[in-house]
Structure 1
């Protein structure tokens, strides 16, 4: 019998986080395991995660499937998992996330209640206490916040901690665009297309997960360039529309220029006086600059680097 729900976890050389994510996915409660499967897609050049996945999958309450996608790129990895998954619904969990036992059932309940094509849940960033500078900012940076109450929403979030109806996707097997393999945002592009097609999004505040970034990401050196890249999203999305939304691009660029100038000056002042919220202001300036400098030479590659 084909599974009704496929949980997908993409990974690349993050075995400790993957083990935590896997165990949490296998410990879900309130869902019939007969209708579940777990698909782990390894985007390393060599199948480095295979032994760990097979060991953790031994004796699991539902099938655990390992997929090796050696071609680097976040869209490649997600598409490889989608092509292998058999579920009518797809739940995405990242390899640095940990899902409480009621996570999946909360997503399922929200999908049924609101007849949603995609459901999103909150993400709660965690950073080690006393070991990380700008901890409050970094925990907020790696978090996803939303409405206090569940319901239909008119916008979308990222793919981690999401629940998709496969039949609503523009391509049920390979919905993620390879043009975003290296810079990310493949999920934004997909959900933007779905929004334009009139698909329904919902928010489930009870379907929250923890996010535990690797130590290398718990720095401003990582977070601020990432904030810049997030800022590029609205301008890039307008430019990628068919036909291109040039008026939208111009509007976002103008807004970004003002945002970068105002918050850049404020961030410089806060840095000089050692204000505790300096990083929050610098983030706002970086996102504004990203809206303005969004095209080719300014794109930052966060994904798709081959490792051996």
Structure 2
């Protein structure tokens, strides 16, 4: 029996992104597997208008947070209202690519508790190219459907029952996506890399946002404590592996962002 999928989308102040997202989901629908789409409005300045957000392929519901909860808190709020057997998480500025639903149904099995897929660029520019290069470095070292230690909250799926047993996304920071990996592990589930689960995504929201995200991800990193010396080695390795010959602007951008991330990690307070 085909499991029912609830797609959860956290959104704030980007109503223009929702209709093309719904259209992309309609185009990837298979046999009614996508049961519902829950749009969680994270206290947008102007509340998300429900009236134009309809689909003949699945039901669409708008939930509104009374106060800002962030992406993780909004996803948890959506999960609490979901009726599907599977929770699929997408960003509001993502577009599922052809075959997305099929890849989800084949990738998520009783033996594979959660899957996370590939993110491809929807936009251009230096920050977008730099971010995509980091993604591709991550993907290159993993075989299809092998267990991984990352979870892309903007393109992923997990069995609903296990998600609730694990307590959902922990915290509200940037590192919360990967924090879910540890929580799922504790409850007997692993995340697997599903390269055919693909979305196009607006990678760049500007250099200022990229800097803020790098700092937050360093401060909220969930792995073992680090030292300044270790972070300097990590930073040097990252700089060496940048595309200096083919895209010097993206290489320089990534080097700066890695330095910020490492600085934030090395300044984490001892537990």
Q: What does residue range 216-255 of structure 1 map to in structure 2 within 5 Å?
A: 217-219=205-207, 221-234=208-221, 237-238=222-223, 248-249=224-225, 251=226, 254-255=229-230
Q: What does residue range 19-38 of structure 1 map to in structure 2 within 5 Å?
A: 19-29=19-29, 31-33=30-32, 36-38=35-37
Q: What does residue range 1-150 of structure 1 map to in structure 2 within 5 Å?
A: 4-29=4-29, 31-33=30-32, 36-45=35-44, 48-51=47-50, 54-57=51-54, 59-74=55-70, 75-112=72-109, 115-128=111-124, 132-133=125-126, 136-140=129-133, 145-147=138-140, 149-150=143-144
Q: Call closer, same or farther: CA 1:222–1:35 in 2, change over 3 Å.
A: closer
TM-score (norm. length: structure 2): 0.82
Q: Call closer, same or farther: CA 1:290–1:12 in 2, change over 3 Å.
A: same
CA contact 2:239–2:255 (8 Å) conserved in 1 = no
Match of 1:160 in 2: 154
Q: Which has the higher strand share?
A: 2
The separation in 2 between residues aligned to 1:194 and 1:253, in whole angstroms, is 30
The separation in 1 between residues aligned to 2:52 and 2:8, in whole angstroms, is 17
Q: Call closer, same or farther: CA 1:227–1:184 in 2, change over 3 Å.
A: closer
- Structure 2 spans left out of the alignment, 5+ residues: none
Partner SS, residue 61 of structure 2 = strand
Partner SS, residue 195 of structure 2 = coil
Q: Call closer, same or farther: CA 1:139–1:155 in 2, change over 3 Å.
A: closer
The separation in 1 between residues aligned to 2:113 and 2:230, in whole angstroms, is 31
Q: Call closer, same or farther: CA 1:146–1:38 in 2, change over 3 Å.
A: same
Q: Call closer, same or farther: CA 1:127–1:139 in 2, change over 3 Å.
A: farther
Q: CA deviation at 1:64?
A: 0.9
Q: CA deviation at 1:295?
A: 4.2
Q: Call closer, same or farther: CA 1:255–1:197 in 2, change over 3 Å.
A: farther
TM-score (norm. length: structure 1): 0.73
Match of 1:186 in 2: 176
CA contact 1:5–1:35 (8 Å) conserved in 2 = yes
- Structure 1 spans left out of the alignment, 5+ residues: 239-247, 297-308
Q: CA deviation at 1:168?
A: 1.5
The separation in 1 between residues aligned to 2:24 and 2:65, in whole angstroms, is 23
Q: CA deviation at 1:224?
A: 2.7
The separation in 1 between residues aligned to 2:216 and 2:195, in whole angstroms, is 26
Moved more, 280-289 or 114-123: 280-289
CA contact 2:100–2:198 (8 Å) conserved in 1 = yes
Partner SS, residue 122 of structure 1 = strand
The separation in 2 between residues aligned to 1:198 and 1:252, in whole angstroms, is 31
The separation in 1 between residues aligned to 2:201 and 2:43, in whole angstroms, is 21
CA contact 2:13–2:46 (8 Å) conserved in 1 = no
Match of 2:201 in 1: 211
The separation in 2 between residues aligned to 1:160 and 1:144, in whole angstroms, is 18
Spell out, residue by residue over 1:154-194, the C-alpha distance to the aligned partner (whole angstroms, 9 max, x if none): 4222211101011212547x6233xx33x332222222221
Partner SS, residue 151 of structure 1 = coil
Bigger Cα Rg: 1
CA contact 2:117–2:156 (8 Å) conserved in 1 = yes
Q: CA deviation at 1:70?
A: 2.2
Q: What does residue range 170-181 of structure 1 map to in structure 2 within 5 Å?
A: 170-171=164-165, 175-177=168-170, 180-181=171-172
The separation in 2 between residues aligned to 1:42 and 1:8, in whole angstroms, is 11
